[in-house]
């Protein structure tokens, strides 16, 4: 990973206004959340799972390597095409070496859920950024199954996990909305006798529930008497290998989508984008801001709703984005903040505490970067407030990305609209989620160059 490989010098990059509007049709890389889960459930199934459209970013490749270390056969057979020969529920082997998950919090938390109910010991680490991210939120519920963890102070990586020999089924209420914690508990429940349930007070992305059903697990999703949802998985099923077609990642689609909104005269088509209702908070928010985005050719692919998105530039206005929407767009706030800086009026993005514990403290990173570009921005508690004039801010700043791929891409997108270029101090981390970001954006007419 970037910070652990000093031989890889930082790659500064700058974005400037293109000479012409952005235009064209592009296919968005595979959904990162779905890609992680496809590999993991393929490894726990019996038989061969064929995956088409897998995201081949560093985060997902780290998951593939981890599953190989645990005894599954995971092989790339073509561009974005992968094959997984699973070992069945309970069939994972104790790894011979340390498992390094790079920068991926999703991989770490979901894999710990799987390991928690396998009778083996594994040592798990990641890069400097991942080693600072909190794992206590999954360690606490997974310990209830009988798993044992030895961690650094604060429940941080590196850690050792010894899975429960005789796991005990659980009913766990999420203290905060988190698809990763929910998924970790449900995955632990797969190798646990009886029924394991998660009470979800607020709806979060439901890729795990959908994919468990796709592989043949019995999953029930029903309203909870106190509000929210009760998700239950019946333990120790025999998962059957099933083909997976990975939809385009809406979090990745957000960057060319917003670029098209901000560069005057632009019109682009983004094909095959996942529009799972638990992931469409950004589209809902942009609609409230007056964005011209049309869903075309809506369909179901591999159990996930998919559509093509036609995006046209136009004037945007500020909006009040409620805290309840955060679980459906938590990764999109950095790029939404760029829209807010170019819109007319005040945009309030509420309830962003979770942004403080992502790959970086995204809340402060967004605010400091926008201020450096000349935007009017404030952080009040867990709310981000951006007041725009209806035109882009001046730009002309170099942004500290803090090893955060979404901060990096968001400010490059802003630089396509500002009068002066916007530079980022290090573009290497973009490869964790969107390795083709630069060529894809260039194909639409975006202008990026190595900064001096």
Calpha distance 144→168 (Å, rounded): 7
The answer to whether 331 is a known catalytic residue is yes
Specify the 3-state DSSP secondary structure of 406: helix
Specify the 3-state DSSP secondary structure of 15: strand
Catalytic residue from among 100, 331, 426, 436: 331
| Cis amide prior to 304 (ω within 30 degrees) | no
Calpha distance 70→53 (Å, rounded): 23
Specify the 3-state DSSP secondary structure of 113: helix
The CB-side HSE value for 172 (13 A sphere, CA atoms) comes to 29
Strand order in the sheet with 244-245: 73-78, 81-87, 46-52, 244-245
| Cis amide prior to 158 (ω within 30 degrees) | yes
> How many other C-beta atoms can be found within 10 angstroms of the C-beta atom of residue 247?
28
Q: In the structure encoding, which two tokens stand for residue 143, read together?
A: 């310990």
Burial class of residue 63 (count of CB atoms within 10 Å of its CB; 0-12, 13-18, 19+): buried
In sequence order, the β-bridge partners of residue 15 are 422, 448
Of 95, 90, 94, the C-alpha closest to 45 is: 90
Residues catalogued as catalytic: 331
């Amino acid at each position: 990973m970037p910070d652990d490989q000093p031989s890889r010098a930082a790659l500064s990059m700058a974005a400037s206004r293109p000479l012409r509007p952005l235009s064209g049709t592009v296919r968005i890389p595979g959904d990162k959340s779905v890609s992680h889960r496809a590999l993991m459930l393929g490894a726990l199934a019996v038989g061969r799972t064929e995956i088409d459209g897998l995201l081949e970013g560093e985060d997902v490749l780290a998951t593939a390597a981890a599953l190989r270390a645990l005894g599954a056969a995971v092989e790339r057979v073509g561009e974005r095409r992968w094959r997984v020969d699973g070992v069945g529920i309970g069939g994972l082997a104790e790894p011979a070496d340390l498992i390094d998950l790079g920068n991926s919090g999703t991989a770490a938390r979901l894999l710990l859920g799987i390991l928690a109910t396998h009778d083996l010991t594994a040592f798990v680490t990641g890069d400097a950024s991942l080693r600072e991210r909190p794992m206590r939120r999954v360690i606490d519920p997974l310990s209830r199954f009988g798993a044992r963890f030895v961690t650094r102070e604060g429940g941080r990586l590196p850690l050792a996990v010894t899975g429960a020999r005789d796991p005990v089924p659980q009913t766990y209420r999420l203290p905060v909305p988190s698809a990763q914690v929910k998924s970790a508990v449900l995955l632990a429940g797969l190798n646990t006798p009886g029924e394991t349930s998660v009470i979800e007070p607020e709806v979060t992305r439901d890729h795990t529930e959908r994919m468990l059903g796709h592989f043949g697990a019995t999953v029930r999703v029903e309203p909870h008497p106190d509000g929210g949802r009760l998700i239950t998985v019946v333990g120790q099923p025999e998962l059957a290998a099933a083909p997976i077609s990975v939809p385009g990642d809406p979090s990745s689609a957000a960057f060319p989508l917003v670029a098209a909104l901000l560069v005057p005269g632009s019109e682009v088509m983004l094909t095959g984008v996942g529009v799972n209702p638990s992931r469409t908070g950004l589209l809902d928010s942009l609609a409230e801001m007056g964005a011209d985005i049309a869903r075309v050719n809506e369909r179901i692919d591999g159990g996930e709703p998919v559509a093509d998105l036609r995006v046209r530039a136009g004037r945007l206005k500020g909006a009040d984005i409620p805290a309840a929407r955060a679980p459906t767009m938590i990764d999109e706030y950095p790029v939404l903040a760029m829209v807010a800086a170019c819109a007319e009026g005040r945009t309030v993005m509420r309830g962003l505490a979770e942004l403080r514990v992502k790959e970086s403290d995204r809340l402060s990173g967004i605010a400091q970067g926008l201020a450096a570009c000349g935007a009017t921005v404030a952080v009040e508690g867990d709310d981000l407030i951006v007041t725009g004039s209806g035109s882009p801010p001046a730009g002309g700043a170099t942004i500290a990305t803090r090893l955060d791929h979404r901060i990096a891409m968001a400010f490059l997108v802003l630089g396509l609209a500002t009068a002066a270029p916007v530079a980022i101090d290090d573009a290497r981390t973009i490869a964790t989620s969107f390795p083709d970001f630069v060529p894809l954006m260039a194909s639409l007419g975006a202008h990026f160059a190595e900064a001096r």
